Amino acid sequence: MYLWLFPIVSLLLFLWFYLRDPRRTINGFLFNIFICSAGILSIIAAFESDQPFLKILAIIPIILIAVMLTIGVYALVIVLLLNARILIRKEGRKFSNYLTLLLGIGILLFIILTIIQPIRYLPKEIQILYPGVMFIFLYFLVNLFSFLSAYFLYQFNKSRYNQDFIIVLGSGLIRNQVPPLLANRINKAIEFYHKQEAVTSPPIIILSGGKGSDENLSEAEAMQAYAVDKGIPIEYTIKEDQSTNTYENMLFSKKIMDDLRGSSYNSIFSTNNFHLFRAGMYARLAGLSSHGIGAKTALYYWPNAMIREYIAVVVMNKKRHGIVIGIVLGLSLMGVLIQYLFK
C-alpha cells in the first residue's frame, strides 16, 4: 500500500505546478509519472486479486503496450513518411516541411542500428560511450513525451469572456497579403471578440507583427486591414508593428497594454493550436499571465508543426539540456580514460 504514495505524491505535485502555471513542460513530466505509476500499480493489484475479470482487464494494456513497442514503431515510420509526402506536395519543398521525413528516416535508421548493433565491432574503450549516448537518447525521449503531455493538457485552458485585450500573433505575409495560416489566427480572435461582445464590453485586438525584409508593409498593418474588413471597428484594433518573433510579439504588446491600463488588465493571445503551448511559454517569459486560444490547423500539417515546436522548445531550454548532455558525456569520457589507463 505504501507504493501508492508515489502516484499520489506525483498527482499532488502535478496539480500544484499545473494550477500555478500550465505553461511549463514539468507539468507533462509529473502527469506522465502519475499515469505510469498508477497504471503499473493498478495492473499489479489486479493480478494479485482473486477477481478473474480484473486480471483480464490488466492483460489488455500489457498487450497494447507490446503491440506499440513492436508493430507501432514501424507503423509510425510509415505514417511519418506518408505525411511528409502529402505535406511537401501541398506546402512546397521548404526545409521546414521535411521534418517528418527526416524523423521517419531517423527512426528507421535507429531500428536498423539496434538490430545490427555496430557498437560491438568498436574497441572496448569506445563501447563505454554507448550507455552515455543511450542515456541522452532516453533523456530526450522522456522530454519529448513530457512536452507532448504538457501541450495536450494546455489545450484544456478556457479563457473567460472578461478580457481587455486579445493579442494576435503574426506569422508572416505572402505577397503582402494575409495567408490562410495567419487568417485563422485573426478569425479566432474575431470569433472571441463577438462572443465576449454578446455578454459584456468587447476587447481591444492587438495585431502584432513587424515588417519583414521581403515585405512592403508590416504584418500588423495587413492584419488590421483584414480584421476591419471582417467587421471589427478600427477603434477596437491596435497595431504593434515592431516585433520580429513570438517573444517580441508578447513583450511589445505588453508594453502597449501597460501604457494603456497600467498593470490591471486581462489579456489572451490568439495563434494556431499547434503553437499555443510554446507561445504561452514566451508569454510567461515576457511577464504576461496571458493564456491562448487556438485556431484549428489542417491535420496533415500538424505532425510537422509539432516537431518544429518541440525543436524550438528544446532550443529555448538549451542551457539546461546542454548541462545534462555535458555531464553525461563528461562521465562517459572519464570512463573511457579510466578503461584506457587501467586496462
Binning pLDDT at 50, 70 and 90, where does residue 95 land? confident
Please indicate whether residue 46 or residue 268 has the higher confidence score (pLDDT).
Answer: 268
User: How much is the pLDDT for 153?
Assistant: 94
In the structure, what pLDDT confidence band is assigned to residue 211 with cuts at 50, 70 and 90?
A: confident
* Cβ atoms of residues 316 and 281 within 8 Å: yes
Average pLDDT, whole number, for the chain? 90
Let me know if 231 is exposed, middle or buried by CB neighbors in 10 A (0-12, 13-18, 19+). exposed
Burial profile 176-189: b = 16 or more Cβ within 10 angstroms, e = fewer: eebeebbbbbbbbb
Q: Is 210:178 a contact under the CB 8 Å cutoff?
A: no
Cα(338)–Cα(341) distance, integer angstroms: 5
- The whole-number average pLDDT for the span 131-150 is 92
Residue 220 has pLDDT above 70, yes or no: yes
What pLDDT does 148 receive? 94
Question: According to the model, what pLDDT value does residue 3 have?
Answer: 82
Cα separation, 208 vs 243, whole angstroms: 7
Closest CA to 300 of 86, 98, 133, 130: 86
What lies within 8 Å, CB to CB, of 276 at 6+ separation is: 151, 154, 155, 292, 294
- φ, ψ dihedrals at 290, nearest 5°: -65, 145
Question: Could you tell me which residue, 117 or 267, shows the higher pLDDT?
Answer: 267
Q: Which has the closest alpha carbon to 88: 104, 107, 112?
A: 104
Cell of 153: 493538457
Say what the alpha-carbon torsion angle 318, 319, 321, 326 is, to the nearest 10 degrees. Answer: 130
Please tell me which residue, 139 or 337, carries the higher pLDDT value.
Answer: 139
Break the chain into its structural domains and give their ranges: 2-126, 165-297
Q: Higher confidence at residue 175 or residue 292?
A: 292
* Positive or negative torsion for Cα 130, 135, 137, 138: positive
Percent of the chain's residues with pLDDT above 90: 62
Q: What is the arithmetic mean of pLDDT over 97-122?
A: 86
Residue 343 reports pLDDT greater than 70: no
Task: Give the model's pLDDT for residue 132.
Answer: 87
Using pLDDT thresholds of 50, 70 and 90, give the confidence band for residue 120. confident
For residues 79-86, average pLDDT: 92
Say how far apart CA 25 and CA 145 lie, in whole Å: 10
| Euclidean distance between CA atoms 268 and 254, whole angstroms | 11
Residue 4 has pLDDT above 70, yes or no: yes
CATH 2.30.250.10 fits domain 165-297: no
Percent of the chain with pLDDT over 70: 99
